[in-house]
Amino acid sequence: MLAEFRRIFRRDSKIALVLFGLPVFYSILFGCVYSSAVVKAIPTVVYDQDQTSASRSLIQAYADSERYLLVAEVGSQEEMEQYLQANKALAAVSIPPDFSRKIRLGLASEVLIETNAANLLFANTVITTSQEIVQTFSVGAGQKIVEALNQMPAEALRSVAPVRIALRIVNNPTLSYSNFVLPGMIANGVQLALMMVLGSVFIRLYPSLASWRGVSSARIVAGKLLPYWLCGLLAYILSIAVIVLLFHVPLKGGIISLLVIGAAFCLAVVGVGGFVSAIAPNEIMALQLPMLYIMPAFLFSGYSWPQLAMNGFSRAYSAILPLTYAADTMRDILLAGSAPQLWRDAAILAAFGAVLIAGTIAVFEWRRGRPAGEVQL
């Protein structure tokens, strides 16, 4: 262990830079990207065919919303489509020519909302917020009509909106995207850093095995891997501190719970990295093989796309990814205050890491017994 710590911090300081720098850099980088928390100022074009006080009131409702930035008011459908096609606008509001007349007559008047769904974040925001804006405007307009029939304002509001919706959002009430994505990003950053530095840990050792004669394989493997587990856990703690203190991701759960899942996660990742390093025929393969395994990890882990919507192959692949059992649990601890599957996930990760470390010891023992210079499996 002391020899490996000297290698990490003195002989090859680039290892320490990757181990600690990459997760913290990920935390700061993605924290800055998602610092606005919600999608705001979506470029919006307006086509007002009615040109009345009612249509201008609806347009003003969009202008007053921080989610929209009105970039132009056009005079034709073709011009509106050109704005969307050229990506000068990502949303369009088209008001029909008989908009105010239908409102006065108590008839339904349809407003066309058009959005570019190539980026679903923009499209989902446009769909949900437009429903809120138009519904609020519709209720207000209907209330004025009924008030004109000599009803009191409260009675008029109940007449035009007899059913209301009460919405309660828990755990992430501001719908902050940074709160949603950052816990998974830092877990992925820790995983990537560990995989990058573990690739050469045993490959470099095989040519000098003679100097380790008399030392058991289990002792060598443990001494080599334990420093990376400790450094990975420290990098994980630093990354949590960055997103909580710098980017204000809430910490509602206990620090002990975060340490439990973090320690188990780092053990599983170290197990994967150590096993790959033990079986790889050379250093290049030791660096390339883990990438095939971990590069799709964030996609298949169920963090950004739920497992219940995946096909059978995707769910099977996600079951062998450490990130599957860590990222959601971390987010639940941070945002909800508790994770129902904490101990189950921690146990799976710990068992996963233990099995792979045992496999690493077996492979290392087998390879050190082969003739000198013979490294192919």
The region of weakest confidence among 7-21, 29-43, 266-280 is 29-43
| CA count, 13 A, side-chain hemisphere, 358 | 6
Two tokens, residue 70: 């009105």
Across the range 217-235, mean pLDDT stands at 94
State the CB neighbour count (10 A cutoff) for residue 100.
21
Q: Which residues contact 214 (CB under 8 A, 6 or more apart)?
A: none
- Using the predicted structure, report yes or no on whether residue 102 has a pLDDT greater than 50: yes
Q: What angle do CA 188, 191, 195 make, to 5 degrees?
A: 140
| Inter-residue contact 325 to 349 (CB < 8 Å) | yes
65, 17 Cβ separation under 8 angstroms = no
Q: Residue 373's pLDDT is what?
A: 47
Give residue-wise pLDDT tens across range 269-288.
999 999 998 988 877 777 77
Residue 146 host element (H or E): helix 120-147
On the 0-12 / 13-18 / 19+ scale of CB atoms within 10 A, 84 is middle
**Which residue has 């059913």 as its token pair?**
163
Q: What pLDDT sits at residue 88?
A: 85
Name the residue with higher pLDDT: 172 or 318.
318
The first and second tokens of residue 55, run together, are 């249509």
Nearest to 261 by CA among 341, 147, 369: 341
Tens-place pLDDT, residues 197-206: 888 888 888 8
Q: Is the pLDDT of residue 336 over 80?
A: yes
The pairing of strands 112-115 and 91-95 is antiparallel
Domain residue limits, the chain: 2-34+176-368, 42-160
What pLDDT was estimated at residue 185?
86
Other CB atoms within a 10 A radius of the CB of residue 246 amount to: 13
Write down the pLDDT at residue 270.
95
Q: Is the pLDDT assigned to residue 295 strictly greater than 90?
A: no
Sign of CA dihedral 208, 214, 216, 222: negative
Torsion of CA 282, 295, 251, 125, to 10 degrees: 170
Task: Decide if pLDDT at 293 tops 60.
Answer: yes
What integer pLDDT is reported at residue 156 of this predicted model?
47
Q: In this structure, how many other beta carbons lie within 10 angstroms of the beta carbon of residue 371?
A: 5
pLDDT (mean) for 297-323: 80
Q: In the 3-class helix/strand/coil scheme, how is 55-104 assigned residue by residue?
A: HHHHHHHHHHCCCEEEEEEECCHHHHHHHHHCCCCCEEEEECCCHHHHHH
Position of tokens 């913290």? 24
Which CATH class, in words, describes the domain spanning 42-160? alpha beta
* pTM, entire model: 0.73
Tokens coding 255: 């620090």
Give the phi and the psi of residue 46 in degrees, each rounded to 5. -120, 135
Give the span between the Cα atoms of 345 and 70, in whole angstroms: 47
Q: Does 254 have pLDDT greater than 80?
A: yes
Q: How far apart are CA 335 and CA 145, in angstroms?
A: 44
- The contacts of residue 86 (CB under 8 Å, 6+ apart) are none
Look at residue 116 and tell me whether its pLDDT is greater than 70: no
DSSP of 286-352, one letter per residue?
HHHHHHHHHTTHHHHTTSSS-GGGS-HHHHHHHTT-HHHHHHHHHHIIIIIS--TTHHHHHHHHHHH
Most confident of the ranges 52-61, 128-137, 171-180: 52-61
Q: How far apart are CA 340 and CA 210, in angstroms?
A: 49
pLDDT of residue 37: 54
Calculate mean pLDDT across residues 136-152: 57
Residue where the block lists tokens 């877990």: 187
